[in-house]
Structure 1
Amino acid sequence: MKVKVDAIRCKQCELCAANCPKKAITFSEEINEFGYQTVVVDHEKCIGCGICYTMCPDGVYEILG
């Protein structure tokens, strides 16, 4: 796992998914406590580039070493 996700913080702005170069980010059918679909990272596709971390205005992502 290269990215840790705090799905509760996600407001489904989709900036992360739109900018992911590997298209590793999608949204599940699951809804968080604020009424937004939860973000899902495909760890097989993820290269740990950090673009999701940079683009996210809500601090959803943590890049792991």
Structure 2
Amino acid sequence: MKGAIEVNTERCKGCSLCIVACPQKVIALANKVNLHGYPYVEAVNEEACVGCASCGIVCPDGCITVYRKKVEE
């Protein structure tokens, strides 16, 4: 499986729960802030994402959408 995440940066409060939940270390806090003044998360190691959806499950604000697709070998 190959995964990808999409983060709604304007809703993200930078709580870092998704960073801790990600077993592949795909997510990190950005060095930027959104319109509300919060640092937000972004995918920094996208090729490692397996689409496990742990990040999306723990996000209290529903900011993360997880996509999965089957990779043919």
Output the amino acid matched with 1:46: C
Runs of 4+ with deviation above 4 angstroms: none
CA RMSD of aligned residues (A): 1.3
CA distance in 2, matches of 1:56, 1:38: 12
Q: Of the two, which has the highest radius of gyration?
A: 2
**Per residue, is there more strand in 1 or in 2?**
2
Partner of 1:8: helix, strand, or coil?
coil
Say yes or no: does 1:49 pair with 2:52.
yes
* Number of residue equivalences: 65
Partner of 1:64: helix, strand, or coil?
strand
Unmatched runs of 5 consecutive residues or more in structure 2: 69-73
Give the corresponding residue for 1:35. 37
Query: Identity over the aligned pairs, expressed in percent?
Result: 37
TM-score normalised to structure 1 length: 0.89
